[in-house]
Amino acid sequence: MDPVKLVLVGSFLILASAAAVTTGALPVDEVWAIAERVWPILVFVVAVTVVAELASIAGVFDVAASALARLSRGRTIVLWLLVVALATASTAFLSLDTTAVLLTPVVIAVARANGLSPVPFAFATVWLANTASLVLPVSNLTNLLAVHRLGGADAGAFLGLLGPSAAAAVGVTIALLLVIHRRELRGRFRPAAAPLMSDRVQLRIASVVLVVLAPLLVVGVEPWIPATAAAVILVALFAWRSPRVVRFSLVPWSLLVFAVGLFLAVGALEQLGLRAIVAAMTGAGESPLALWQMSGVGMLSANAVNNLPAYVALEGVADTPLRLAALLIGVNAGPLITPWASLATLLWHQRLTAVGVHVPWRTYVLWGLVAAPLTVAVAVLPLMIR
């Protein structure tokens, strides 16, 4: 779904929710409760998007990817594994959209500069953008929503709940990608020269900001606070060094409109009996079968509509930490089949098209039909031994 369509859908949902408020279907108190819950999350999304965009413009990701090529000493499989590590870290600390949108064109450029096929690197970024988004609360908007239902659990508690599942999901992803691309990842290459940076001051300051920001997102402080501080610093830096870069388009307006409309619309639907319907689909309890059912419904719903509305619609029946974890596994690691299952996937494909890399959706869907159920099924297993 492109930004224009996101705005149109979000605007429609906001208007429909306003009608629900007018008719009394959505109480005003419920609207305020939704606003109180989501405003810190939306502030974080805006701030971390601005930070990631400006860091990318400064060349942080380009320099990092180039350094990985030199570190690999010309071994293709080593470079790919280093890119996997970078994509996992980028997703964990800066969110899945950052990996899909900003890291994808960088690793494509590095692959081409070194005479390698870009496809294995492209699939590593998009699959890990989804499956590695189970690692930390800041990795995915769904996680930030889930933390609210976990009583405001910090990053340590979240990692304790979902860490083993995240490791399993990432491990399955890497194993599948290695099998699929085993021929393209053989051999060696001669590392290309490091890219020249036009403004080293921006590069150094942006790099320091990212290095400082990463641990601050997991120390128990509300994530929007350090993210906003980092965004302010980088905006001030670019206003000084490259004022033309500072523009309103840095803010993900389309996602904000869509998210606001979605939260309000689901709130109205819950008042009209949505919870009873999804409860019948997801069952109850924490038996192995019940957890697989919860995650399976989450995966199918995410691929049917999108992972964010799927999570928001289903979270009301994920009434225990284990059931909530199973739901997150389904909606985070499961959106690997349809193009619209996660916004990150659509943005990833747009970036590929922009740089001239052709990956047919047929290929993506066929591989995803294997990867999604297998990844979700294995990732749920650690929940069963808690």
Q: Print the domain residue range for 100.
A: 3-272
Write down the pLDDT at residue 135.
93
Distance, CA of 220 to CA of 1 (rounded, Å): 34
**pLDDT category, 199, cuts 50, 70, 90?**
confident
Instruction: Return the C-alpha torsion angle 359, 361, 364, 369, nearest 10.
Output: -170
Looking at mean pLDDT, say which of 34-48, 85-99, 147-161, 260-274 comes out highest.
85-99
Between CA 92 and CA 85 the distance in angstroms is: 11
Axis crossing angle, helix 119-131 with helix 76-94, rounded to the nearest 10? 30
**Model confidence at 1, in pLDDT bands (50, 70, 90)?**
low
For residue 267, tell me if it sits in a domain.
Answer: yes
Looking at the domain assignment, is residue 313 inside a domain? no
Sequence-distant (≥ 6) Cβ neighbours of residue 257 within 8 angstroms: 6, 7, 10, 11, 14
pLDDT tops 60 at residue 120: yes
329 by Cβ neighbours in 10 Å (0-12 / 13-18 / 19+) ranks as buried
| pLDDT tens-digit readout, 54-72 | 988 888 888 888 888 889 8
Residue 367 counted as domain residue? no
Residue that has been written with the tokens 């949902």 in this structure: 13
pLDDT at 274: 72
How many domains does the chain fold into? Answer: 1
Q: Is residue 354 scored above 80 in pLDDT?
A: no
Compute φ and ψ for 135, nearest 5 degrees.
-70, -50
Any domain includes 282: no
Residue 365 lies in a domain: no
Q: Which residue has the tokens 């805006």?
A: 46
- Name the more confident of 91 and 60: 91
Residue 258 vs residue 225, higher pLDDT: 225
Instruction: Label residue 382 by pLDDT band (50, 70, 90).
Output: very high
What is the mean pLDDT of the segment spanning 64-82?
89
pTM of the entire predicted model: 0.85
Structural domain contains residue 151: yes
pLDDT single digits (tens) 149-171: 886 667 888 999 999 999 999 99
263 in helix, strand or coil? helix
Range from 15-19, 30-34, 376-380 carrying the lowest mean pLDDT: 30-34
Average of per-residue pLDDT across 123-150: 91
Distance in angstroms (rounded) separating the CA atoms of residues 221 and 189:
44
Task: Evaluate whether residue 238 is within a structural domain.
Answer: yes
Specify if 185 maps to a domain. Answer: yes
Distance of CA 64 to the CA centre of its chain: 20
